[in-house]
Amino acid sequence: MGIRYLHTMVRVKDLEKSLAFYKLLGLKERRRSESEKGRFTLVFLCPPEQDDGTADVELTYNWDGDEGLPSDSRHFGHLAYTVPDIYEMCQTLMDNGVTINRPPRDGHMAFVRSPDNVSIELLQQGDALPPQEPWASMENTGHW
C-alpha cells in the first residue's frame, strides 16, 4: 500500500472559539478524543460531504495551555476549501467578526485566518463569480 493522506493538524489555544470558526466555514465535527494522561483533546472536523476521513482537520487542544499560540509562524502553509458561493461565505465570516485578509476581488479566491492564526484559502467552486462590490474594491488586510 502506498502513502495515504490522513489529516492536517493545527494546534489551537481556545477550543470553543476555534470550533465556532471552523463551523462558520461549514465544517462539522466528525469525531473527538480526549486523553486524561496526555492532557489534550483532539477534534476532527470535515466538510459534511467528506465525512469519510479523507479531508479532516485535526484541532489539537492542550489542556495546560500552549504558550506558542497564536504565533505568526506559517510553519505549514494553509488549509484550502472550495465553497459554493465565495461572496456569501466571506460575508458570513465578516458578519461574525472574521477579517477577510485577501478579499475575493476576482470572484475566485479569498484568504482568512482562524483564531489561532491558521491561514485558510477559500476557492469558488467551478468558474469564478463575476466581480462584485464591496469585494472588487476591497484592499488586503494584514497578510495570509
List the domain boundaries for the chain.
Answer: 7-62, 72-138
Dihedral (Cα; 78, 4, 42, 123), 10-degree rounding: 30
d(CA 124, CA 81): 9
- When pLDDT is averaged across residues 93-98 and rounded to a whole number, the result is 97
Q: How far apart are the first and last CA of the chain?
A: 36
Backbone torsions φ then ψ of 132, nearest 5 degrees:
-150, 150
pTM value? 0.79
d(CA 17, CA 35): 20
Fold of 7-62: 2,3-Dihydroxybiphenyl 1,2-Dioxygenase; domain 1 (3.10.180)
Q: DSSP E strands: which ranges in 47-91?
A: 56-62, 78-83
Query: What's the DSSP call for residue 117?
Result: -
Q: Which amino acid is at 95?
A: D
Average pLDDT for the chain: 90
Q: Which CATH architecture has domain 72-138?
A: Roll (3.10)
Catalytic residue among 34, 49, 121, 139: 121
Q: Please tell me if the domain spanning 7-62 has the same topology as the one spanning 72-138.
A: yes
Contact 7/58 with Cβ under 8 angstroms? yes
Does 34 participate in catalysis according to the annotation? no
Per-residue model confidence as pLDDT tens digits over 32-82: 999 999 999 999 999 999 989 888 999 989 999 877 776 765 456 688 899
